[in-house]
Amino acid sequence: MAKKREKKQAPPQTPGWLLTFTGLMILIMAFFVYLVTNASLMDERRIRLAIGSLLGTFGMATAKPDVLGVREMVDTVHPGPIPPDHDLAALKDLLWDDIEEDLQFVSNRFVQIFSVNTAVLFEPGQTALSPEGRVFLEQVVPVLQTVASPVQIAGHTSILRDEFAADYQVEMQDEIPDPSWALSLFRTMSVYQFLLERGVPVDNLRMEGLGRFQPRGNPQTPEGRRANRRVEFILDRRAESWSPRLARPEVMVTPEQFIYRDFIFRFPDDPAPDPIRP
């Protein structure tokens, strides 16, 4: 009796979509290399951001460090330590009169954070500066007028029930945008407007509202909730908003060159290198 022939199984084949995807990735990477090779980057930060973007595309980027951390990343560039007499260090003198510990000052070589409890600046649940808050900010104005870099004004709040007290409703948890974000933003805007009215240059200030989403303390304890209600003045030499304030090279553009953002492209018939003067 003849034996039945066993059917040979065909070897597994690579899916067609995978070949297409791989080819597309190679094409994108080749195009990226071409751009970097044929362009002059005018800012060291842009170089690192470009490299970091490529690494992130292939899953090789890591999480960003803490604002006070010292670990270097491909997307962080600092132009050196904070210049003395042009920073926030003068605000530390206000800590001596702070019996309630409503003020804090933390720093490292590149970052300074001056934190003010919202009780110093606002009435509970309010976004308009209190009279005491305006008096306090008058002491901050001279320092912010002389800083050598933009200062970020960041507003933070506690949990909703803590901030709104008797006005709190359960439905607030589902509102969009989150009420704590709006509260922190409006408070930040009040501080921002006051400083501008007192003569702080607009180029010296940035602002953002972060709501209840970056707590400093445990929101389950009264002490933690109090610590979370704060407005921070942050001077960070590594911040991206610094790049327009850094010394930039003077660029001489010829008819054979094309500039797009911080890239200088040369046409193929332009054999000369980019005439960039330091």
How far is it, in rounded angstroms, from Cα 203 to Cα 200?
A: 8
How far is it, in rounded angstroms, from Cα 16 to Cα 236?
A: 49
In this predicted structure, the answer to whether residue 23 has a pLDDT above a threshold of 50 is yes
Q: In the predicted model, what is the mean pLDDT of the chain? A: 76
Orientation of helix 179-197 relative to helix 131-144, angle to 10°: 60
Contact 88, 143 (CB under 8 A): yes
Q: What is the 3-class SS of 108-160, one letter each residue?
A: CCCEEEEEEEHHHHECCCCCCECHHHHHHHHHHHHHHCCCCCCEEEEEECCCH
The sign of the dihedral angle between the CA atoms of 215, 150, 202, 195 is: positive
The sign of the dihedral angle between the CA atoms of 108, 109, 110, 112 is: positive
Contact 86, 72 (CB under 8 A): no
Which amino acid, residue 80? G
Measure the CA dihedral 55/57/63/67, to 10°. 80
Q: What percent of the chain has pLDDT over 70?
A: 62
How far is it, in rounded angstroms, from Cα 183 to Cα 228?
A: 13
The total of other beta-carbon atoms located within 10 Å of residue 255's CB is 7
E-assigned strands of the chain?
39-41, 103-107, 111-117, 151-156, 205-209, 230-236, 250-251, 257-260, 263-266, 276-277
Q: What percent of the chain has pLDDT over 90?
A: 37
pTM of the model: 0.61
In this predicted structure, the answer to whether residue 276 has a pLDDT above a threshold of 50 is no
How far is it, in rounded angstroms, from Cα 108 to Cα 82?
A: 10
For strands 111-117 and 103-107, give the pairing: antiparallel
In this predicted structure, the answer to whether residue 64 has a pLDDT above a threshold of 50 is no
Which amino acid, residue 182? A
* For the chain, domain boundaries: 16-66+247-277, 89-244
Higher pLDDT, 265 or 15: 15
Q: Give per-residue pLDDT as tens, 232-248.
A: 999 987 765 544 444 44
Contact 48, 75 (CB under 8 A): yes
What mean pLDDT comes out for the span 214-228?
Answer: 92
pLDDT band, very low/low/confident/very high, at 109 (cuts 50, 70, 90): confident
Q: In the CATH hierarchy, which fold is given to the domain comprising 89-244?
A: 60s Ribosomal Protein L30; Chain: A; (3.30.1330)
Contact 117, 133 (CB under 8 A): no
Q: What is the pLDDT of residue 61?
A: 46
